[in-house]
């Protein structure tokens, strides 16, 4: 008999059922009970983990940081599958947990997120990692309490995966959220993606685009404002296509530009509002409208920063990627953005070594980077993803060529970043303080509106260290690094 239960049943639409299962779990676990939620993924994964942690607390678990130092009752890995090395890390951790679980056999181990939406990964877990008790996908976060209750009742492993659920997945509202950061908060505005870039697994694991209602988003933001949060980041695989599905569902149409305008006006109408900054990500260039550019230029609440993934500077490669814009169209968009916001900080994503990329194609990318002059860029070596068109291309690039191009791109971009940062020397900038620096506890760290990291020493004659976290303060820039700035109060 199999050691696992396939729980592929129709999802419960009523969120009340999730709370009923939370209550049931609370009666079945020891007291005290400890849990670890480990995120290996993007901002969407991070926010999903906040919901998982919120439900765990509701069920009576105490959240701790380290499963190695603490004897814990439950460990969750919330995973990413955008690149192969992300999957390798998770499978490595699962092997590590096997040894830990031998000394703590009652511990429940769960794996969720994008990685588990891939059938071949689920097969690997079933065959090689039978010590994993729960496996569920991106569409089933709110069903986690039901799955946990089932494994507690039966002592058997529970797998609840459906590759078709993303087509019909409800957008759950009202789940408890445990936010570690009391200054900055994620707010999801939509789920899924309809773009099907030829290298990307996201539409297959996150499903089709589903927008939250504007009112639900506004209600969440107003709660965060009342709780004293200073900065919110609106999240979606492609926020620029927000609202396109609302009209199809007989809801009032609302574009992302209109949503952003309404959020700004609502916050600006309250002189006591605590939220001082709004960010959003990610923006697909083909959907970024002139209307959105105008909204960004009008409202000082919106940070002076935009993440605009280009992926390649070659029109030929962009077509193979199914990005649906050309090099010239992208550059024209950058020109329109900078015409309205000359000092805006642009960041991007770039893939090196996409199948069929010639030396000329790569040089196109290099020249675009030098022309646009990004403040920051997330550069990646192409990673084949099972099930995507690009993975089956016969034009894969050899490792040596790709690494040489990657290093050449990094060198060019690092030079640009340092030159841009040099212009900050001597300026005074407003910084939202995150807390002590990770590298040096004597220094504090924060970010500017442009998302520049600033490290500085707190003068305790002027302000107490405990009073500075979460505050917006002026810092004079006294030193320049490639990726950060040094300053003083």
Report pLDDT digits (tens) over 359-379: 999 999 999 999 999 999 999
Measure CA of the first residue to CA of the last residue in the chain; give whole Å: 66
How confident is the model at residue 167, as a pLDDT?
A: 52
**440: burial class by Cβ within 10 Å (0-12, 13-18, 19+)?**
exposed
Q: Residue 134's closest CA among 118, 113, 120?
A: 113
Residue 469 structure tokens: 């976290």
φ/ψ of 351, rounded to 5, equals: -105, 130
How big, in percent rounded to 5, are the helix, strand and coil portions of the chain?
Answer: 40, 20, 40
Residue 17 belongs to what H/E stretch? helix 15-26
Q: Specify the pLDDT at position 6.
A: 54
- Yes or no: say if 90 and 55 are a contact pair by the CB < 8 Å rule: no
Q: Work out whether the CA dihedral 171, 172, 176, 178 comes out positive or negative.
A: negative
- Domain 184-420 matching CATH 3.80.30.20: the answer reads yes
Tell me the C-alpha distance between 266 and 409, whole Å: 42
Residues 434, 439, 442: CA angle, nearest 5 degrees:
70
Domain-wise residue ranges, the chain? 4-168, 184-420, 428-488
Assess whether pLDDT exceeds 50 at residue 2: no
Q: How many CA atoms lie within 13 A of 56 on its CB side?
A: 25
Query: What is the mean predicted confidence (pLDDT) over 212-223?
Result: 95
Count CA within 13 A, CB hemisphere, residue 77. Answer: 27
CA distance 467 to 485: 22
Q: What is the mean pLDDT of residues 445-474?
A: 88
Secondary structure string (H, E, C) spanning 167-207: HHCCCCCCCCCCCCCCCEEEEECEECCCCCCCCCCHHHHHC
Determine the Cα–Cα distance for residues 371 and 367; give it in Å rounded to an integer.
6
pLDDT value at position 458?
84
- Mean pLDDT: which of 79-93, 162-176, 250-264 is highest? 250-264
Q: Which fold has domain 4-168?
A: Rossmann fold (3.40.50)
Cα within 13 Å of Cα(385), Cβ side: 25
pLDDT score for 50: 95
Indicate the pTM of the whole model. 0.91
How many angstroms separate the CA atoms of 103 and 166, rounded? 38
Query: Taking 50 as the threshold, does the pLDDT of residue 9 lie above it?
Result: no
The first and second tokens of residue 123, run together, are: 């097969």
Return the SS3 of 281: strand
Lowest mean pLDDT, pick from 4-8, 112-116, 207-211: 4-8
* CA-based max dimension of the chain: 70
Q: Where are the alpha helices (DSSP H) in 6-143?
A: 15-26, 43-58, 84-103, 119-128
Spell out the residues 6+ positions from residue 244 whose beta carbon is closer than 8 angstroms to its own. 209, 211
pLDDT 10s digits, 153-181:
999 999 887 544 555 556 778 899 999 89
Give the chain's radius of gyration (CA, Å): 23
Do 476 and 428 touch, CB atoms closer than 8 A?
Answer: yes
The pLDDT tens digits of the residues spanning 391-435 come to 999 999 999 999 999 999 999 999 999 999 999 999 999 999 999
Cis, bond preceding 32 (omega within 30 deg of 0): yes
DSSP reduced 3-state for 167: helix
DSSP character for 116? G
Average pLDDT over residues 274-300: 97
Name every residue whose Cβ is closer than 8 Å to that of residue 327 and which is 6 or more positions away in sequence. Answer: 313, 314, 315, 318, 364, 368
DSSP code string of 243-281: TTTTTTTTSPP--HHHHHHHHHHHHHT-TT----EEEEE
* Bond from prior residue into 282 cis (ω within 30 degrees of 0): yes
Distance CA 159, CA 162 (A): 10
The backbone torsions φ and ψ at residue 296, rounded to the nearest 5 degrees and listed phi first, read: -60, -40
CATH number of the domain located at residue range(s) 428-488 in this protein: 2.40.50
Written as six digits, the tokens of 71 are 């004897």
CA–CA separation, 205 and 192 (whole Å): 8
Contact 351, 402 (CB under 8 A): no
**Strand-strand pairing, 190-191 and 210-211:** antiparallel
pLDDT tens for 93-108 read 898 899 899 989 999 9
Q: Can you tell me the mean pLDDT for 472-479?
A: 96
Mean pLDDT, residues 269-298: 96
Q: 443 vs 36, which has greater pLDDT?
A: 36
């Amino acid at each position: 008999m199999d050691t696992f239960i396939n729980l592929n049943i129709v999802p419960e639409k009523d969120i009340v059922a999730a709370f009923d299962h939370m209550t049931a779990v609370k009666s079945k676990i020891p007291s005290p009970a400890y849990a670890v939620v480990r995120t290996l993924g993007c901002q969407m994964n991070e926010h999903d983990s906040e919901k998982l942690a919120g439900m765990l607390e509701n069920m009576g678990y105490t959240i701790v940081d380290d499963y190695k130092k603490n004897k814990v009752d439950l460990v969750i890995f919330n995973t990413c599958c955008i690149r192969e090395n992300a999957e390798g890390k998770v499978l490595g951790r699962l092997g590590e947990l096997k040894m830990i679980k031998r000394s703590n056999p009652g511990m429940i181990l769960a794996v969720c997120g994008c990685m588990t939406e891939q059938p071949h990964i689920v097969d690997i877990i079933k065959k090689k990692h039978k010590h994993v008790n729960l496996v569920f996908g991106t569409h089933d976060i709110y069903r986690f309490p039901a799955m946990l209750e089932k494994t507690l009742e039966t002592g058997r492993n529970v797998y609840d995966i459906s590759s078709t659920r993303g087509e019909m997945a409800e957008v759950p509202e009202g789940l408890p959220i445990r936010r570690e950061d009391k200054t900055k908060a994620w707010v999801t505005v939509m789920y899924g993606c309809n773009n099907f870039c030829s290298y990307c697994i996201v539409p297959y694991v996150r499903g089709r685009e589903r927008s939250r209602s504007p009112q639900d988003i506004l209600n969440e933001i107003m709660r965060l404002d009342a709780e004293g949060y200073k900065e919110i980041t609106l999240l979606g695989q492609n926020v620029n296509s927000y609202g396109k599905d609302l009209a199809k569902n007989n809801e009032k149409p609302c574009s992302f530009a209109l949503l952003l305008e309404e959020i700004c006006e609502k916050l600006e109408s309250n002189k006591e509002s605590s939220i001082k900054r709004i960010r959003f990500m990610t923006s697909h260039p083909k959907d970024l409208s002139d209307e959105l550019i105008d909204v960004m230029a009008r409202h000082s609440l919106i940070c002076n920063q935009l993440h605009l993934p280009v992926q390649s500077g070659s029109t030929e490669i962009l077509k193979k990627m199914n990005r649906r814009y050309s090099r010239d169209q992208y550059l024209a968009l950058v020109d329109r953005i900078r015409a309205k916001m000359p000092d805006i900080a642009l960041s991007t994503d770039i893939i090196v070594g996409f199948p069929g990329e010639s030396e000329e194609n790569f040089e196109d990318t290099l020249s675009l980077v030098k022309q646009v002059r990004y403040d920051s860029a997330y550069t990646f070596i192409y990673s084949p993803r099972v099930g995507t068109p690009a993975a089956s291309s016969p034009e894969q690039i050899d490792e040596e060529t790709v690494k040489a191009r990657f290093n050449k791109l990094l060198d060019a971009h690092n030079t640009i970043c340092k030159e841009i940062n040099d212009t900050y020397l001597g300026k005074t900038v407003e910084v939202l303080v995150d807390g002590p620096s990770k590298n040096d506890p004597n220094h504090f760290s924060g970010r500017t509106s442009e998302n520049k990291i600033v490290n500085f020493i707190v003068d305790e004659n002027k302000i107490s260290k405990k009073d500075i976290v979460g505050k917006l303060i002026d810092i004079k820039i006294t030193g320049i690094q490639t990726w950060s700035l040094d300053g003083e109060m």
